[in-house]
Amino acid sequence: MSITVNGRTLDWIKDETVTKLLKRMKYTFPLIIVKINKKIIPRKDHNNCIIPNESVVDVIHMISGG
């Protein structure tokens, strides 16, 4: 049982939410977009969205600049 995060295979953890995955991966960027199986997960849903087994997760760090 596994998930893929940004191309890296990780163990799947039952009932792991997006918030918990971001902590496990030590992603602390202030501006990020998370997609699970190509579907954008709104920031307001990170605490409640459970990551299914065999999911492909993309964590995209947004960089602001000018």
Distance CA 61, CA 34 (A): 9
CATH architecture of 2-61: Roll (3.10)
Compute the average pLDDT of residues 12-32: 94
| pLDDT value of position 30 | 83
The tokens for 5 are 């995060």
Q: For residue 5, count CB atoms less than 10 angstroms from its CB and return exposed for 0-12, middle for 13-18, buried for 19 or more.
A: buried
Would the pLDDT of 45 be above 80? yes
Q: What are the extents of the domains in the chain?
A: 2-61
| pLDDT value of position 66 | 60
Beta-carbon neighbour count of residue 23 at 10 Å?
Answer: 12
Would the pLDDT of 29 be above 90? no
The verdict on pTM exceeding 0.75 is yes
Would the pLDDT of 40 be above 90? yes
Please compute, for residue 7, the number of CA atoms within 13 A of its CA located in the half-sphere on the CB side.
Answer: 1
